[in-house]
Structure 1
Amino acid sequence: MDTSETEKEIIHPTSQSKYIKQAKNATSKANAEKQALNAIREKIELERVKRINRQKKKLVAKKGQEHLQNQAVVDHRKVQIETM
Structure 2
Amino acid sequence: HILAQPGVQRVPSTKLTLFVRRGFLDPATSTALCARVDATRRPSTLSDFNGDPTFRTSETGDLDPFDPLVIDLNARIAAFT
TM-score, normalised via structure 2 length: 0.20
The structure with the largest helix share of the pair is 1
Flag the structure with larger Rg: 1
Is the strand fraction higher in 1 or 2?
Answer: 2
The structure, 1 or 2, with the larger RCO (C-alpha pairs under 8 Å, 6+ apart) is: 2
